[in-house]
Every structure is written in structure tokens, then in C-alpha cells.
């Protein structure tokens, strides 16, 4: 890692915060995975759930490349892609309105509406969910066919874990969805009582999820509203997960718990979700700049 200065902007979507580097104007970091580990450190770095590079694209207004706190690269982040769309509009790389962003799950279409000098409300077409076990992926022996959805199914990762749950009212059955990245959803009567710090990493790293998994616990408030908490793959507990909220919307419809349009309450705010009749999942939520700054590699407490 070199000692060159790197300019950045800190942004969040419903509390899901990342450090963003505008690579239209800044050089691409030589080791973005290593940079993510220390720049996202909340004690010795800028602090955040990871690092997002905003890059030129031959196929869209910009390309998003994201890295988690542990340096692992992820395909997509729903809250992150809203912030990327806000940044390319705010920095003049694309006009306000319809914007396309290239991600690890393909090119997504977004609508950016500015709500302030440093904020936007953004609607994202998240595409259609993947439901087959091989596409998520999840190793699941109870599937009735290669295209079968895994809905309210037994979960090997929770075997012998009942003593952890106390009075959270956990339903130990899982529903699995991919939004271009893997998600597993569990329902309970009180998400606040879920021991997320303990059970989150156990499920994330279980062998039944060969690419690890994002873990969500959901409390149904009504057919139109849920409350959720998340353990994100590679980042741990986060204030919001946009792809996760999208997966929760799908899971609620598949399991008959919620309708096709819901509000998802997350620790950092709320997100609006709609699983449309054409199969596409639409998410609407905020994108907010927090501050800009400059970091130097030698300020890291790593190494």
C-alpha cells in the first residue's frame, strides 16, 4: 500500500454506511481489498461497513465495485447502489432522473430525485430474485426440484441452537433468496431479542452456504410492514441491508406472511419495497452524504 493521498466521501443509505471513492476523479487504489480493511475501521480509519469504488463504465453511467470490512468483495449492495447513483448525479457524471449503474449482478436502472445539496431519494429496479438452491447458492437436500424455492424449510445451521434464543420467539425454518447475492431469512416474534452477534456468524459461515450468506431476522408488524435486523456477510451487524430488505419482501410473499408492497423498518430508518407483477423488485430509500475528506495510507493502524 502506498502513501498517496486519497480523497473520499462518506455516505449512508438508511444507516448502511460506506466510504466511497470517486474514481472518475481519483486514481483507482492499487489494493482496494486491503484499503477496505483499514479505511472502514471505526477506530483507526474513516469508519463504515466497507469501501465502494465508483468507476467509469462502458455499459452504464458508472460501475460500482464494493468491498466489505473484511476485504471480501461483494456483488451488490442495495443501499450502496443508491448512494452511487446519488454521487454520479451530484458530481455531474450523469443528469438527475434515470441513471444506470453497473454492478456485480448486472446493470441496474435507478431514478434519482435530489432532496438537498447532499441528499437524494432513489428508486432502484433490483431485478428479479433467484430462488433455486443452486442459484443462491445453498446446499439443501430437501428441495423437490432444481427450480424449487426454499420456503419455510428446515435449516441445518440452526440444529441444536434452540438454547440461544430465549424469548425471541424464533421460527427456526428458513427462506432463501438471492438478489444477486445470497440471503437467508428467519421470522421471529421480537427481533430485538435475537442474539445476532452469536448466531449471525454461525449461520453466515455454515457449510450449507458455500459462498457464505447474509442473515436476516424479521418480525411481521402487519401484512404491509416488517421490522428486521441483519448480519451481513463480511461486515457483521449493519444498520440496513437493501438487498436483504428486497429478499425479505420476496420471502414474505412466498411464505404468505406479507403483501407485495411493504415498508421494512431497519435500525437506520426504513425502506419501501415492491415485488411487482413482472417479477422485478423495486426499492426506494434515501442516499445521504455525511462528509468528505482525505486519507493517507500511513495513518492506518494495520501493519
At 76, list the grid cell: 451488490
Among 183, 219, 182, 215, residue whose Cα is nearest residue 198: 215
SS3 74: strand
- Strands (E) located in the chain: 5-13, 16-22, 50-55, 62-68, 73-74, 97-103, 106-116, 119-125, 150-153, 171-178, 182-187, 214-222, 225-232, 236-238, 261-266, 269-275, 281-296
For the chain, 303 residues long, the average pLDDT of each consecutive 10-residue run is 78 97 95 94 94 98 97 95 98 98 96 98 98 94 66 87 73 95 97 93 95 97 98 96 97 98 98 98 98 78 50
Check: CB of residue 275 under 8 Å from CB of residue 253: yes
Is domain 133-279 in CATH 3.90.1150.10, yes or no?
no
For 239, which DSSP code? S
User: What pLDDT score does 299 carry?
Assistant: 54
Dist CA 166 CA 105 (whole Å): 38
Sign (positive/negative) of CA torsion 268, 262, 199, 234?
negative
User: What pLDDT score does 5 carry?
Assistant: 84
User: What pLDDT score does 296 carry?
Assistant: 82
Q: Domain 5-126+287-299 has what CATH class?
A: alpha beta
Identical fold, 5-126+287-299 and 133-279: yes
Residue ranges of the domains in the chain? Answer: 5-126+287-299, 133-279
Q: Give catalytic residue positions.
A: 77, 241
At 160, list the grid cell: 441444536
User: What pLDDT score does 100 carry?
Assistant: 98
User: What pLDDT score does 159 carry?
Assistant: 75
User: What pLDDT score does 212 carry?
Assistant: 97
Amino acid at each position: 500500500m502506498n502513501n498517496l493521498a486519497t480523497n473520499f466521501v462518506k455516505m449512508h443509505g438508511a444507516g448502511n454506511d460506506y466510504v466511497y471513492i470517486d474514481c472518475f476523479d481519483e486514481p483507482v487504489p492499487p489494493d482496494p481489498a486491503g484499503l477496505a480493511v483499514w479505511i472502514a475501521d471505526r477506530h483507526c480509519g474513516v469508519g463504515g461497513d466497507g469501501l465502494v469504488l465508483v468507476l467509469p463504465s462502458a455499459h452504464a453511467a458508472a460501475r460500482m465495485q464494493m468491498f466489505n470490512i473484511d476485504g471480501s468483495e461483494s456483488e451488490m449492495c442495495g443501499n450502496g447502489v443508491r448512494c452511487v447513483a446519488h454521487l454520479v448525479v451530484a458530481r455531474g457524471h450523469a443528469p438527475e432522473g434515470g441513471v444506470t449503474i453497473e454492478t456485480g449482478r448486472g446493470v441496474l436502472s435507478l431514478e434519482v430525485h435530489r432532496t438537498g445539496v447532499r441528499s437524494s431519494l432513489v428508486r432502484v429496479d433490483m431485478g428479479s430474485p433467484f430462488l433455486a438452491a443452486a442459484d443462491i447458492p445453498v446446499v439443501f437436500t430437501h428441495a423437490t426440484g432444481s427450480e424449487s424455492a426454499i420456503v419455510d424449510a428446515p435449516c441445518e445451521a440452526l440444529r441444536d441452537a434452540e438454547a440461544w434464543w430465549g424469548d425471541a420467539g424464533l421460527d427456526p425454518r428458513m427462506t432463501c433468496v438471492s438478489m444477486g447475492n445470497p440471503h437467508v431469512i428467519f421470522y421471529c416474534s421480537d427481533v430485538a431479542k435475537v442474539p445476532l452477534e452469536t448466531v449471525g456468524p454461525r449461520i453466515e459461515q455454515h457449510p450449507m452456504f458455500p459462498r457464505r450468506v447474509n442473515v436476516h431476522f424479521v418480525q411481521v408488524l402487519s401484512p404491509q410492514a416488517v421490522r428486521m435486523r441483519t448480519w451481513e456477510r463480511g461486515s457483521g451487524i449493519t444498520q440496513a441491508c437493501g438487498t436483504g430488505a428486497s429478499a425479505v419482501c420476496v420471502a414474505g410473499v412466498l411464505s404468505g406472511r406479507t403483501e407485495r408492497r411493504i415498508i421494512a423498518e431497519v435500525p437506520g430508518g426504513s425502506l419501501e419495497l415492491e415485488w411487482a407483477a413482472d417479477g422485478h423488485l423495486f426499492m426506494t430509500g434515501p442516499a445521504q452524504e455525511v462528509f468528505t475528506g482525505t486519507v493517507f495510507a500511513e495513518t492506518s493502524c494495520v501493519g
